[in-house]
Amino acid sequence: MAEKSYVVRDRIPLSATSSAIEVNLERLDTYRIHVVPDTAAAAEVLLGELDGRRAAVITDRTVAALPAYRLTETLGERGLLLGSKIVDPGEKSKSLDTAYALIDWLAQIGFARRDVVVALGGGMIMDTVGWVASAFMRGVPYVNVPTTLLAQVDAGIGGKVAVDHNAAKNLVGAFYQPRAVISCLEFLQTLGPRQARAGLAEALKKAIIASPELFEYIERHAGALVQCHSSAVGPLVSAASTIKTELVGRDPYEVDLRRPLNFGHTVGHAVETTTGYGPVLHGEAVAFGMVIAVDIARARGLLDPALADRIVGLITGLGLPVRLEQLRSVPPVEDVLGALDKIREIRDGSLRFVLPVELGTTLIAEDVTEDEVRAALLRNVSADVPVGGR
């Protein structure tokens, strides 16, 4: 392709009268979320989004054995596959070590600025690959192709990318939006019930904070949703994606720390940190965190007891943990409180709880005490679970 020549003419006035130079920068990110029925449709959309660019696909060993990996073969057949990299599955791979290895790989295969990284997998892949894309060459384009329900309704959307650190979950991260998101419903048919339920927790979170209509939809279709029947899950993925993009669009860089999307995440992140990032799925931790937030809201008189029971009843009906001992790895109560203290330190002494008031209305509370959290935890744990000590 012939090189083009451009003339750039600037006339920038200089002033020595001001002691401070004010810098005003504005960035507008736009991208499309495609909810498609099958692999063939996903491949067509991906090729369209690449628009002739080369792609480097990053996935994990689990996805590499599934039909979703056929997208990589399609890119190879079209001469657009720069390379593919497979990492170990699970939260343990959401680390700086993995991220540095991926950066080394991109450099070795000759990845150029015009090329596109394709993140093919679940939440761990979305978060890790997104952060790698944000850091490599100061930012290269990436496309999310989420293969789990949790990634389709949450992790693959919104541009919050990060890897974990021993001190806290998602400690090393950035705000960096994808070029596109392609959610293929066919991929969800390979999910087991546990993974499906974990994704439903994030969808339910959005329903509680922003959509009574979606809450009622989940109530009506709970059984089909756990089975990931496409006729039921398609509207769920579209609705949850719409809700998240609307809420993120109001404050994409989280300048305002009062964020309803953090509902369930305060205690949820503490559970994940305490249990070592892995034994408890993110959606399971968030589900239990929502139960604790509901309990605190009820105890404060903010939430009608009947609605509190309805919310907890739906979480139970979806097969998600509502009591501490129902987690795959059961942390002592005091260990959870200790993890919350660390999170408070990282956040400059502030610990915010999103407390539901009614469906579609929340209160962002910065005055929830340790005693309130301890009491809520103890109300949602059996007597034979160790309390522990710090």
262 carries an active-site annotation: yes
244 carries an active-site annotation: yes
205 carries an active-site annotation: no
Q: Of 34, 94, 160, 259, which is the active-site residue?
A: 160
229 carries an active-site annotation: no
Contact by Cβ (8 Å): 297, 359:
no
170 carries an active-site annotation: no
DSSP H helical segments within 109-139, as ranges?
A: 123-135
3-state SS, 141-189, equals CEEEEECCHHHHHHHCCCCEEEEEECCEEEEEEEECCCCEEEEEHHHHH
Phi, psi at residue 281, to the nearest 5°? Answer: -65, 150
85 carries an active-site annotation: no
Residues in the chain: 390
CA torsion angle for 142, 80, 191, 187 (degrees, to 10)?
A: 100
Tokens representing 187? 């991929």
Q: Of 49, 202, 272, 284, which is the active-site residue?
A: 202
Q: Work out whether the CA dihedral 310, 303, 338, 348 comes out positive or negative.
A: positive
Tokens representing 259? 């964020």
Rg (CA), the chain: 22
Q: Of 262, 272, 284, 380, which is the active-site residue?
A: 262
282 carries an active-site annotation: yes
265 carries an active-site annotation: yes
Q: Of 34, 169, 179, 269, which is the active-site residue?
A: 269
Buried-state track 240-278, b at ≥16 Cβ within 10 A, e below 16: bbbbbeebbeeebeeeeeebbbbbbbbbbbbbbbbbebe
Any bridge partners for residue 181, and if so which?
Answer: 33, 144
Max CA-CA distance within the chain? 76
138 carries an active-site annotation: yes
Q: Of 92, 258, 344, 379, which is the active-site residue?
A: 258
Contact by Cβ (8 Å): 128, 166:
no
Q: Rounded to 5, what percent of the chain is helix, strand, coil?
A: 50, 15, 35
CA distance 71 to 247: 31
Catalytically active residues, by annotation: 138, 160, 202, 244, 254, 258, 262, 265, 269, 282
